[in-house]
């Protein structure tokens, strides 16, 4: 007999207790010595893989199992030694078993095939999805060396691939062969694994891969089906539940027992997994976990991800992941996951290759024909062909140069530049800018202006290098078909839509009258030539409802710039300023976001009436990071921008949030320095530098002259000299007292 939680329980002699441990893994706690002493320790050694492979190959029906097992084992030993060390590479027994299961199904599906061909195809098709581009040559070379003269074609379902292309086109995408291959690889993984890791850098179309796969399955394929997963799910309705585990606490994710009332409170994962498991139909159910991995929440899912398929909750409830249910993890990397986690899932790694070209092609074929119809071009194909030509002329060379030479004020991905470019072009393509009589040169002028700010807008001085000046010099030498005025830089000009010529941003300035007796300095925004450019693009993004970010050092006027815009919002527009700090938590942030929203219908929420709301988030990178380098308020914002909703933290119901937009500011030398690249990609990012001498004279002159209005003329004349002297003194101090390791506080 023994006592357990106040209850006396009889222990049967036939009962056994086993403990399995992976010592030294992150997120794991060591057993206390007093407990260890009660168990007999057994060290499990690395087994003989070749013997296991041989037996499993025979079980799957292979006659030449001994020879094939020897090649299989040699391949995996060589891959461990020769490929780059990646956390998602797994050459252990779980991966081996999955390959053997695939090989067995291929052998039975195509009787009479050469067994070496079957194993070669299984090894290639199962492993290629997770191999990085730089390792692919080594992998294929080893495979060819071990299986000489063998190169069977990939098992393809041409009917399904046609539906994939059709669904992608209907979704406004431009599917290339690589995208179609990724969709097919994911379906092949889902046939043999119930957990899938979608991995890769930001902006490589991971989200679109599973969305198009879901649409393909629901559309269905008529006739014979080759794909195993489609064969199980053809024309069935797919239910997807998305959760960002990093926008909620671990307790809110799994659930917890309220210590005061002893009542169980469901978490997001337990609630949705139980809901899907209890549905009577056997249509596919996918739970999408879209967020960074950390040991706190992922390690608790090990029993769900392995063959047990059980989610065990603190309430002792066990929820089974049914055969038609899948877990999909959309993640950046496995930096904070243990090897035990990596082995439990099928991995689809999507490398950054030419996704930007797919994006620009999709945008050109979607947005440019609409513009051509609005502008009433006689030949509606003319703008499309011109834009496609400009994309191929400029973008590859610019991307190559940016990656090779330049460093931005905050790290930006390739897709960040391209997303910004198409957003800016969409704002510029208006009949008032480009009429139906415009020739190719007019299109090129606007395209060049968009490229300058999309690729070079986030450049700023760094480590003593003037990147903007470098970019200006390179641009003028490289691209000569569109000539900027010789005075100043390429950043100093916009296009006057009436003359279709470059004009300085200063032409857009209006004089501000400051009355020191009636106004406070902090409530007045003085426009300068630099802020005219920022305001131009901020106005554009506001109309397009796209997120915008200003990045710059302290004291460069970022906050004042945005406040100046928010103060002039027209009717039907609202704003809500939110200042982040080190202690900003996700619960208070969500409450602030919801404070200006009202319920519309069902689960839909938005600003009151027909208004549109701008969230102005200042010091965006200030919230503290958890031990796994994630800020939860940032994760909530990413869920909102990526999915258009968040969840009620008490009722666990979805809230669709509409008619809102984010404008943010950030100091790259404070707080966490950077934000999640998956969120950063969604913003048009502009670097805000310290204003130049002319701008400082204008700003301080406006305030000082307004204050001296009631003084004598002699005093008023001294205003300009006082400012010039103060600025000269400031420049001297800055150049003399430099920031060093000793005087880091300067």
pLDDT in tens, 195-217: 999 998 888 888 999 999 999 99
The reply to whether 254 falls in a domain is yes
Q: What are the backbone angles phi and psi of residue 609, rounded to the nearest 5°?
A: 60, -135
Question: Per-residue pLDDT averaged across 343-364, rounded?
Answer: 86
The reply to whether 499 falls in a domain is yes
Co-location of 593 and 549 in the same domain: yes
Domains of the chain: total: 5
3-class DSSP state of 524: coil
CATH number of residue 440's parent domain: 1.10.472.130
Domain boundary among 349, 367, 395: 349
3-class DSSP state of 664: strand
Query: What does the alpha-carbon distance between residue 746 and residue 744 come to, in Å, rounded to a whole number?
Result: 6
Cβ atoms of residues 693 and 727 within 8 Å: yes
Question: Per-residue pLDDT averaged across 531-539, rounded?
Answer: 92
Question: Rounded mean pLDDT of the chain?
Answer: 89
Percent of residues, the chain, with pLDDT higher than 70: 97
The reply to whether 324 falls in a domain is yes
Residue 528: pLDDT band (50, 70, 90) is confident
- In this predicted structure, the answer to whether residue 26 has a pLDDT above a threshold of 70 is no
Query: What does the alpha-carbon distance between residue 479 and residue 469 come to, in Å, rounded to a whole number?
Result: 15
The reply to whether 397 falls in a domain is yes
Cβ atoms of residues 198 and 88 within 8 Å: no
Question: What pLDDT, on the 0 to 100 scale, is given for residue 637?
Answer: 96
Query: What does the alpha-carbon distance between residue 172 and residue 704 come to, in Å, rounded to a whole number?
Result: 55
Co-location of 231 and 338 in the same domain: yes
Residue 282 to residues 88, 212, 238, Cα–Cα distance (Å): 31, 21, 10
CATH number of residue 556's parent domain: 3.40.50.300
Q: Which range, 99-113, 350-364, 588-602, is most confident?
A: 588-602
Tokens of 107: 């052998």
Question: Per-residue pLDDT averaged across 217-233, rounded?
Answer: 87
Question: Per-residue pLDDT averaged across 384-391, rounded?
Answer: 95
Co-location of 659 and 564 in the same domain: yes
3-class DSSP state of 617: strand
Residue 411: pLDDT band (50, 70, 90) is very high
Cβ atoms of residues 665 and 619 within 8 Å: yes
What domain range includes position 613? 544-690
* Nearest C-alpha neighbor of 686 from the set 458, 412, 494, 408: 458
Co-location of 93 and 167 in the same domain: no
- In this predicted structure, the answer to whether residue 28 has a pLDDT above a threshold of 80 is no
Beta carbons within 10 angstroms of residue 528's beta carbon? 21
Helices (H), 585-688: 586-594, 632-643, 677-680
Tokens of 682: 């969604």
Cβ atoms of residues 227 and 157 within 8 Å: yes
Range in 105-119, 269-283, 477-491 with the lowest mean pLDDT: 105-119
| Cα Rg of the chain, angstroms | 30
Query: What does the alpha-carbon distance between residue 304 and residue 323 come to, in Å, rounded to a whole number?
Result: 12
The reply to whether 425 falls in a domain is yes
Question: What pLDDT, on the 0 to 100 scale, is given for residue 600?
Answer: 92
Question: Per-residue pLDDT averaged across 559-572, rounded?
Answer: 89
Question: What pLDDT, on the 0 to 100 scale, is given for residue 27?
Answer: 63
Tokens of 368: 């440019």
Structure confidence by residue, pLDDT tens digits, 100-159: 988 998 888 877 788 999 999 899 988 989 898 889 999 999 999 999 888 787 778 899
Residue 515: pLDDT band (50, 70, 90) is low
Range in 55-59, 505-509, 716-720 with the lowest mean pLDDT: 716-720
- In this predicted structure, the answer to whether residue 359 has a pLDDT above a threshold of 70 is yes
Residue 95: pLDDT band (50, 70, 90) is confident
Co-location of 383 and 410 in the same domain: yes
Co-location of 444 and 296 in the same domain: no
């Amino acid at each position: 007999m023994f006592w357990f939680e106040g209850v006396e329980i009889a222990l049967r002699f036939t009962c056994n207790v086993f403990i399995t441990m992976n010592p030294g893994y992150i997120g794991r706690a060591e057993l206390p010595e007093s407990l260890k002493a009660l168990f007999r320790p057994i060290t499990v050694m690395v087994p003989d893989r070749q013997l296991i492979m041989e037996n499993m190959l025979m079980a799957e029906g292979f006659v030449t199992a001994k020879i094939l097992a020897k090649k299989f084992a040699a391949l995996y030993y060589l891959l461990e030694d020769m490929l780059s060390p990646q956390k998602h590479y797994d050459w252990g027994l779980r991966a081996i078993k999955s390959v053997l299961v695939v090989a067995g199904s291929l052998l039975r599906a195509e009787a009479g095939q050469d067994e070496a061909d079957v194993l070669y195809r299984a090894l290639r098709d199962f492993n290629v999805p997770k191999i990085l581009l730089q390792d692919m040559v080594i992998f294929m070379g080893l495979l060819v060396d071990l299986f000489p003269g063998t190169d069977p074609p990939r098992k393809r379902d041409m009917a399904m691939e046609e539906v994939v292309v059709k669904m992608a086109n209907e979704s406004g995408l431009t599917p290339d062969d690589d995208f179609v291959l990724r969709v097919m690889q994911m379906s092949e993984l889902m046939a043999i694994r119930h957990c899938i890791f979608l991995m890769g850098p930001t902006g490589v179309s991971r989200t679109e891969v599973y969305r198009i796969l879901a649409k393909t399955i629901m559309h269905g394929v008529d006739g014979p089906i080759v794909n195993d997963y489609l064969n199980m799910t053809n024309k069935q309705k797919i239910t997807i539940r998305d959760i960002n585990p990093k926008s909620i606490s671990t307790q809110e994710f799994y659930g917890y027992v309220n210590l005061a009332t002893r009542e169980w409170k469901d978490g997001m994962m337990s609630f949705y997994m139980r809901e899907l498991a209890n549905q009577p139909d056997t249509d596919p159910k996918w739970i999408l976990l879209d967020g960074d991995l950390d040991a706190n929440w992922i390690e608790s899912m090990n029993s769900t991800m392995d063959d047990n398929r059980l989610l065990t909750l603190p309430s002792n409830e066990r929820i089974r992941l049914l055969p038609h249910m899948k877990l999909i993890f959309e993640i950046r990397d496995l930096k904070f996951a243990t090897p035990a986690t990596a082995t439990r899932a099928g991995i689809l790694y999507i490398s950054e290759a030419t996704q930007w070209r797919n994006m620009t092609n999709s945008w050109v074929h979607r947005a440019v024909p609409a513009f051509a119809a609005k502008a009433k071009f006689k030949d509606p194909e003319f703008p499309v062909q011109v834009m496609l030509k400009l994309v191929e002329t400029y973008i590859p060379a610019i991307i190559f140069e940016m990656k090779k030479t330049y460093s931005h004020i905050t790290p930006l991905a390739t897709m960040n530049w391209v997303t910004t470019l198409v957003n800016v072009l969409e704002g510029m393509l208006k009949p008032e800018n480009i009429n139906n009589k415009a020739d190719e040169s007019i299109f090129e002028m606007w395209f060049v202006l968009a490229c300058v700010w999309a690729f070079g807008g986030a450049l700023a001085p760094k480590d003593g290098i003037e990147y903007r000046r470098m970019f200006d010099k390179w641009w003028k030498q490289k691209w000569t078909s569109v000539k900027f005025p010789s005075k100043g830089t390429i950043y100093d000009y916009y296009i006057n839509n009436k003359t279709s010529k470059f004009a300085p941003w200063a032409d857009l300035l209006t004089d501000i009258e400051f009355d020191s007796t009636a106004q406070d300095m902090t409530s007045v925004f003085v426009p300068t030539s630099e802020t005219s450019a920022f305001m131009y693009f901020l106005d554009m993004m506001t109309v397009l409802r796209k997120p915008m970010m200003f990045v710059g050092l302290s004291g460069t006027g970022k906050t004042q710039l945005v406040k100046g815009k928010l103060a002039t919002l027209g009717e039907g527009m609202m704003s809500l300023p939110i200042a982040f700090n080190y202690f900003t938590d996700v619960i208070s942030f969500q409450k602030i976001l919801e404070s200006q929203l009202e319920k519309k219908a069902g689960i839909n929420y938005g600003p009151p009436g027909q208004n549109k709301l701008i969230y102005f988030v200042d010091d965006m990178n200030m919230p503290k990071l958890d031990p796994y380098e994630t800020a939860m308020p940032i994760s909530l914002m990413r869920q909102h921008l990526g999915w258009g909703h968040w969840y009620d933290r008490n009722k666990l119901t979805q809230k669709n949030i509409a008619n809102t937009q984010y404008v943010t500011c950030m100091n790259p030398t404070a707080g966490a320095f950077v934000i999640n690249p998956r969120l950063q990609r969604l913003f048009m990012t502009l670097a805000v530098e310290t204003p130049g001498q002319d701008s400082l004279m204008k700003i301080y002159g406006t305030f000082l002259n307004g204050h001296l209005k009631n003084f004598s003329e002699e005093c008023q004349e001294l205003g300009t000299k006082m400012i010039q002297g103060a600025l000269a003194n400031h420049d001297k101090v800055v150049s003399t007292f430099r920031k060093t390791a000793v005087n880091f506080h300067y």
